[in-house]
Amino acid sequence: MRIAALAALILALSACSQSTSGRPQPSADQPRATTTSTAPATTSQTPESQLKDRIAWAQSGTAVDVNRYHSASTGTGAAADLKGDIAFTSPSGKISCITGTEYHIDGFSCTVKLKNPIPKPGEGFGNWDGGFVNYSGQNLMVGQFRGDPGLFIHGDGQTLPYDSKLTFGDYVCRIATSGLTCVNPASRTGVQMSDDGIVPFGCLRELSEAKREPSVGRAFSC
C-alpha cells in the first residue's frame, strides 16, 4: 500500500541527514493589515457540497510563483535546493508541508501542531507524530510512526502568505488565518488543516482500524 511504502521510505531518509539552513522566522499567528478571508464553514453541508465550496475558495486565492518554494532550511546556513519538490510553511509556523516527488511519493506530507494530536494506536517503530499528515488525492493519513525528520530532513519551506494559493501538480492549496485548505479537483477530494484538527472532504471516508495500516492513527480513503 502507498502508506506502507511512504513509511518505509521516510524511515530510510532519516538515516542520511545533511546540514542545511537559512529558514526565515515565521510571522505571528495574526492576519495582515488588510482583511483576510477565512475558509467556508462546513456545518449543515454534505461532503460533496463542502468540497465544491472548498475547491472554489482555494482556486480564488492570490496565486504565488511556485518557483519561490523549491527550497527548505533548518534555520542556519544555506537553504537546500529541493529540485522538483515544493515546501511551504504557514505564517504562524503551525503548518509545514513538503512534496516527495524526487522519491516517487505521491501527494505531499505536512506536520501540523495540533491542539489535540492523534493518539498513537499502539507500539511501533520510529517516533510517533500525532500531527503528521499525508494527503495523496484519494488517500489521507493522520498520525504516524516515522523516521525523524523524514522528508523534512532539509527543514521547512518559505512562508506562504495569508490568502495566497499555491498550485502544484493536481493540487491547489490556500492558506488563511483559519488554516490550510488543499484540494485535488481531479480526485474530487480535499482537506483542511489547522491546529483545531484535520477535516477531509469529498469521497474520503475513514477506514476502520482493521483496514488501516497499524503504524497510522487515522486513515481515510475513497
Each residue's pLDDT tens digit, 25-73: 444 443 333 345 666 665 557 777 889 999 999 999 999 999 999 999 9
Domain spans of the chain, in order of start: 47-221
Cα dist from 168 to 25, 37, 88, 109, 164, whole Å = 24, 22, 12, 14, 13
Phi, psi of 58 (to 5 degrees): -60, -40
pTM of structure: 0.81
Those residues with Cβ within 8 angstroms of residue 2's Cβ, 6 or more apart along the chain or in another chain: 106, 136, 139
Quick: pLDDT tens for 84-118: 999 999 999 999 999 999 999 999 999 999 999 99
